[in-house]
């Protein structure tokens, strides 16, 4: 009897222990479930990833196109100095490595440079100019002085920064307006333009032009050197390369073929067509900036942030923003 009672006690104790163990396991599972839910729920710190810093930041402007003249259509020439000053004030608020103005700094009249240059001098970052057709709408005797007024030693050039190469091409080099009337260069350009017009070339307009063969050789060598050095190339100029329409250079297909051949070339940014445009051609970006001279009160310029795989463009005023992913 004593043994039986002891056995019952043992059963009771074991049952209690089993129940306690089962309860503990249930509690533990519930605790882990709650803990698991807590771990799976994103917290603020989960999303607080370090913000990626750009490799370079630079300003973008095009077609300031000032002249002391009444407006023509949607072009408000006398408003351009104030727009340029406002753009520079905003750009100076960013930590920029450099800034581009992509052609047609003036509309005409050599004296127009003297109005804009003191304003441009307020820019905190180095300013790189591309040449535009209107920059040569000056007295015949002054055409040879345009580069100096824009602080340029050469009409096309490049510079390098930490694995990146920036090429500024001259799309006015062969044109009917670049050289003085009566010169051999001007006469040759007039003949070429007429031939292209008869052939139905879309860009065969007197306000366009093209790089010379010498410049294209230079361009090929720059791109080849960049490829050999595993550099990324960004290109800039005044006239569009693509799309091939009434604003494009005379030899757009030839220049596009050079760009496409060298995959180190990621994009080409230009001015000239004041309406702006973006084209992705087989992963190579062609971006036309909006013209600053257009409209009375609305500006147009941008800040570009360069990353290893893209260029992020933040537009101001009429200028649209873009994210251009590299091929």
67 alpha-carbon distance from chain centroid: 27
| Distances in whole angstroms, Cα of residue 51 to Cα of each of 4, 89, 314 | 75, 25, 17
Are residues 250 and 130 part of one domain? yes
Same domain, 183 and 159: yes
Nearest CA among 199, 197, 242, 241 for reference residue 216? 241
Do 38 and 172 belong to one domain?
A: no
Please give the Cα distance from 43 to 163 (Å, whole number).
Answer: 38
The tokens describing 251, both together, are 């030899």
Q: How far apart are alpha carbons 137 and 140 in whole angstroms?
A: 9
Please tell me what DSSP assigns to residue 152.
-
Total structural domains within the chain: 2
Q: Which range marks the domain in which residue 32 is found?
A: 2-47
DSSP per position, 92-110: TTS--SEEEEES-SBSS-T
17 with 80, same domain: the answer is no
Any idea what DSSP says for residue 45?
Answer: H
In a shared domain, residues 39 and 97: no
Cα 267 vs. chain centroid, distance in angstroms?
Answer: 8
Beta bridge partners of 312: 305, 323
Nearest of 127, 125, 128, 126 to residue 158 by alpha carbon:
128
60 and 41, same domain (yes or no): no
In 3D space, the residue among 74, 62, 69 whose CA is nearest the CA of residue 297 turns out to be 74
Pair 37, 87 in one domain: no
Contact indicator for 123, 89 with CB cutoff of 8 Å = no
Q: How many CB atoms lie within 10 A of CB 22?
A: 10
Q: Residue 134 and residue 267: Cα distance in Å, rounded?
A: 24
Nearest Cα to Cα of residue 163 among 224, 70, 232, 67? 232
Domain check: are 35 and 134 in the same one? no
SS3 content of the chain, % helix, strand, coil (to 5): 35, 20, 40
Specify which residues 311 forms β-bridges with: 306, 324
- Do 186 and 318 reside in the same domain of the chain? yes
Helix extents (H) in 110-177: 112-120, 146-149
Other CB atoms within 10 A of residue 254 CB: 14
Cβ atoms 203, 230 nearer than 8 A = no
Q: 256: cis peptide before it, omega within 30°? A: no
Residue 122 CB: number of other CB atoms within 10 A? 12
Mark whether 220 and 294 lie in a shared domain.
yes
Same domain, 148 and 273: yes
pTM value is: 0.85
Q: Are residues 60 and 6 in the same domain?
A: no
The CATH number of whichever domain residue 70 belongs to comes to 3.60.21.10
Within a 10 A sphere around the Cβ of 33, how many other Cβ atoms? 10
φ, ψ at 285 (rounded to 5°)? -90, 135
pLDDT at position 49: 55
Sequential pLDDT tens for the chain (327 residues)? 333 333 333 343 334 444 444 444 444 444 333 333 333 333 333 344 568 999 999 999 999 999 999 999 999 999 999 999 999 999 999 999 999 999 999 999 999 999 999 999 999 999 999 999 999 999 999 999 999 999 999 999 999 999 999 999 999 999 999 999 999 999 999 999 999 999 999 999 999 999 999 999 999 999 999 999 999 999 999 999 999 999 999 999 999 999 999 999 999 999 999 999 999 999 999 999 999 999 999 999 999 999 999 999 999 999 999 999 999
Cα gap 9→4, rounded to integer Å:
9
CA 20/CA 13 separation, integer angstroms = 10
What contacts 177, CB < 8 A, 6 or more positions away? 133, 136, 137, 206, 207, 209
């Amino acid at each position: 009897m004593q043994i039986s009672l002891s056995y019952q006690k043992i059963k009771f104790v074991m049952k209690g222990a089993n129940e306690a163990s089962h309860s503990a396991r249930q509690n533990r599972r519930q605790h882990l479930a709650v803990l698991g839910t807590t771990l799976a729920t994103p917290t603020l710190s989960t999303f607080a990833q370090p913000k990626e810093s750009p490799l370079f930041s630079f300003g973008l402007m095009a077609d300031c196109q000032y002249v002391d003249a009444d407006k023509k259509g949607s072009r408000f020439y006398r408003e351009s100095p104030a727009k340029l000053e406002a753009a520079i004030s905003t750009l100076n608020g960013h930590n920029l490595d450099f800034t581009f103005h992509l052609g047609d700094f003036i509309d005409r009249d050599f004296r127009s440079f003297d109005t804009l240059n003191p304003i441009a001098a307020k820019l905190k970052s180095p300013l790189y100019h591309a040449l535009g057709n209107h920059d040569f709408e000056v007295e015949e005797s002054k055409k040879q002085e345009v580069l100096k007024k824009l602080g340029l030693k050469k009409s096309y050039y490049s510079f390098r920064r930490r694995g990146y190469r920036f090429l500024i091409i001259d799309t006015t080099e062969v044109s009917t307006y670049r050289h003085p009337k009566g010169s051999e260069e001007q006469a040759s350009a007039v003949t070429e333009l007429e031939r292209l017009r008869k052939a139905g070339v879309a860009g065969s307009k007197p306000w366009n032009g093209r790089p010379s063969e010498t410049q294209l050789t230079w361009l090929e060598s720059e791109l080849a050197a960049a490829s050999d050095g595993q550099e990324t190339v960004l290109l800039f100029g005044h006239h569009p390369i693509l799309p091939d329409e009434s604003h494009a250079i005379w030899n757009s297909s030839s220049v596009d073929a050079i760009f496409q051949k060298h995959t180190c070339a990621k994009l080409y940014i230009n001015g000239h067509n004041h309406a702006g445009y973006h084209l992705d051609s087989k992963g190579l970006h062609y971006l036309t900036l909006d013209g600053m001279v257009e409209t009375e009160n609305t500006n147009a310029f941008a800040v570009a942030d360069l990353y290893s795989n893209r260029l992020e463009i933040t537009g101001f005023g009429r200028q649209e923003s873009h994210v251009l992913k590299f091929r």
